Chain A
């Protein structure tokens, strides 16, 4: 006989499968026995009991407002509006993404009204102080875990429209709009981006003039590229918008200013001289009605100029306390900072969801036996699978601390901390959202075909979250701003001959750290080495970057052109700054934990987080901070860390505090969830 017949193959396969179940006793059973073949075994059985306290870890991860988060999770689970579905005997909530774009948008609005009625948005605009802001962040994060569209639609209304009124408006605007906005009496949107101008806000083409005869501003879109684009809420629901526009007074352009314009009446009819069109179907976020707006000499009252930075008197004189147009413009971008804070933390929660699902699945799904008649191997027992998921888990822990730090400095902001917040929020927004997209892709692949099903969330989330690397500041542009800010700091220190202060750059005042040439396991795991190697890279790249710029300038290039030419160093430097800053937030969080199993597992995670960066970022070898021998030692240590983290994997994702209903069927009994009986009426 040649190759085994299909029948032989089937019977051998049946034996192997049966062997997984009942060991050797199966040989006496008839081969056509109706007994089930593979049995679902929960991830808890494939993991030792957690050796640290899960709720303590969750407190550390979520950082704040745990009861408020649980309350909101409960509000969503208890309402039919959140589309509860049963699979494998469990209830899962997530939107029905197979609905049409229009249906999804209507559902988003209905969910908003339900949450509004439950009091979720109380004090979001009328409240003041860090406590209120932290609660708002926590609740917004939880909403994003249900559906990114819901979070974005709310973010536009409360953080962008509401934030613009808070930050650019004065008392008359606050009194008139904040309470009505909080209660959704009016629905706001935020028209900044145009077809022709996104990141370059100063180049927008919408023009506003002042008519002193009537005391009105006149807003106009002079050309097609001036149409407002991607305006969330504009296509269907918004009644009002913030309009960013050039302000022309007596023939002189005073730069970009923000105005309030009504675009719909209370019945939803579009206002005269306003044209609105839909942006159409998107790769994600179809629950958000992104639209386009043209203004055909729309007239608004003079009081609708948001005048905290500049004003126009009734007789048409331009008045501003800030004379420098650059500074004036910077003041206008302030609300985007809060957007970057929420995006950064929502990216971390998205990573947590995908890792919780993929790791739970990897502890229940088996593939291939090492020897015949032996049980197949659990996915997470493959060292290669560990290497794919566990470093991302460690990084997500690090980024969770980073996001908590960012929120904290944001809510405690002072005029002095504005620059730090701008730089840190730019860096973290970019790094955390890039990390999320990478994590989603890896988790999707790690779940195989199951990752492609919308009900399993991960694959679908790629489309939903992709936008994060673009909106509220393109990641690449943000990272350029980070390296530019570092360069400016460096030049100022050199010029004024003073020490570095702020942005965590104080380490440059000390002598260059000394990294040992031989890296043992204990060196690699020490926080001293980890800090040193990150500081060394940041210091060296900053000096190189400054030297290259000044060299190019010496050759006659303008500073701006020199910056463009040095983009490679700029990118490396931006990463170096972010990695060092994120590690610092990890070390600070770790320092606040008293010794014990929880602290030990945190230190494992920190080492994994650092070593994986050392392994993956080419700059360490490129600039010689590490030798090829060092790189080999690091690579080896990573595999050891993988095996040490493997027993903690389940406990680490359980500590994310994501309710079961927010995960997906493959995170639980996926055999029951896919059984024939589950599709019977």
Chain B
């Protein structure tokens, strides 16, 4: 793979602006909706680690070039790499990405994430099992299992975002932050307050369904979650319930089982433990011993775009406890090792992420 900082046809994939105590990092792969490449992840990691020690840096802003903030990891490339050869290439990408997540989650300096047209807030993009499990009630299970998308108002309502700034005022906010001479969270927060507004939750927002989400998504197993939803559907004409059942029925059964367990374990773990577990899981997914649903999903959604994946195993009852267990075990491979989190961040900033 390319060394960090090298350029490709798009030029630098991470742009850096320096301004007094402020560093603005701009994800610059607009055509790929700023999906994180290995190169970008490496560069971000390098910058974040350097800024941690640099007393001239008090605030970091992370934003995306173009209309998107970041579409997440560049999964298509990972799949392409693996199809061309070795699952270990994919593992290498996730290793780097997870360490970056960890460093950001436990960062001792304030960061501001700019997500045009969605939300803006002080939140870290860490392992999903960490932040989803910490949403109110069982909203995390709902979002994680159904893949529901949240808009800015919903992110704010459920605590995933801390502030909502309308896109028109983003540049004003950035200018105000540039003038900042302190990294005190209270100061930054008051500036954010000044530019943010209270968005209205849409009438059909899932956030209005918290009571029913809690009733159903708190159940012990995925099978019980679905049967509880089905019981609720009998007494209600609500389209939301049937849509929710449908999205669960369309999802990969293996994914549902391992995701539920991951969220539930994550609820009791710190962010480092969550990332370590997720790294194990992602390696097993890439190895495809129990199920190759990940590749099938990428084929159906990203490559062939037929949106008709054929999951295998195809039914929840075909997946037993030991198949699920496998995803959480160490990978049986000589070169493989568990995610090693940078010791410097392990306790210095406490492994409590700032959510």
User: Could you tell me which A residues sit within 8 Å of B by CB distance?
Assistant: 42, 44-45, 67-68, 70-71, 73-75, 77-79, 89-90, 117-120, 122, 659-661, 669
Contact = CB atoms under 8 A, between A and B. Distances in A.
Given A44-B347, A67-B261, 16 more contacts: A44-B346, A67-B265, A70-B265, A71-B264, A74-B264, A74-B267, A75-B218, A77-B267, A78-B218, A89-B352, A117-B215, A119-B224, A659-B268, A660-B268, A660-B270, A661-B268
A67 B265 CA distance: 8
A89 B353 CA distance: 10
A89 B261 CA distance: 26
A23 B338 CA distance: 36
- The prevalent SS among residues of B at the interface is loop
7 closest pairs, A vs B, by CB? A659-B268, A74-B267, A118-B218, A42-B347, A70-B264, A119-B219, A71-B264
A117 B265 CA distance: 21
Interface residues of B, number: 20
Given A78-B138, A78-B218, A669 B350 contact: yes
Given A67-B261, A90-B352, A118-B218, A78 B268 contact: no
Given A78-B137, A118-B218, A70 B268 contact: yes
Interface string B184-198: 000000000000000
Contacts of B224: 119
B350 A68 contact: no
B315 interface: no
A661 B261 CA distance: 19
A602 to B, nearest CB: 20
A79 B346 CA distance: 29
A660 B138 CA distance: 19
Contacts of B264: 67, 70-71, 74
Contacts of B215: 117
B219 A118 contact: yes
B354 to A, nearest CB: 9
A71 B228 CA distance: 17
Contacts of A78: 136-138, 218, 267
B174 to A, nearest CB: 29
A519 B192 CA distance: 71
A263 B265 CA distance: 43
Nearest to B346: A44
Contacts of A68: 220
Contacts, number: 49
A349 to B, nearest CB: 15
Contacts of A74: 133, 264, 267-268
25 contacts: A44-B347, A45-B347, A67-B261, A67-B264, A68-B220, A70-B265, A70-B267, A70-B268, A71-B220, A71-B264, A73-B267, A74-B264, A78-B136, A78-B218, A78-B267, A89-B350, A117-B215, A118-B220, A119-B219, A119-B220, A119-B224, A119-B228, A122-B220, A660-B270, A661-B268
B49 to A, nearest CB: 20
A121 to B, nearest CB: 11
A117 B267 CA distance: 20
Contacts of A79: 137
Contacts of A117: 215
Interface in B280-332: none
Contact of B350 (A42, A70, A118, A120): A42
A267 to B, nearest CB: 26
A669 B352 CA distance: 11
B237 to A, nearest CB: 23
B261 to A, nearest CB: 6
A74 B137 CA distance: 9
Nearest to A68: B220
A102 B101 CA distance: 47
Interface in B129-149: 133, 136-138
Contacts of A122: 220
Contacts of B268: 70, 73-74, 77, 659-661
A89 B350 CA distance: 11
A594 to B, nearest CB: 14
Nearest to A657: B268
Nearest to A115: B218
Contacts of B347: 42, 44-45
Contacts of A67: 261, 264-265
Contacts of B138: 78
Contacts of B136: 78
Nearest to A119: B219
Contacts of B137: 78-79
A512 to B, nearest CB: 47
Nearest to A41: B347
Contacts of B228: 119
Nearest to A72: B220
B48 to A, nearest CB: 22
A78 B139 CA distance: 10
Contacts of B265: 67, 70
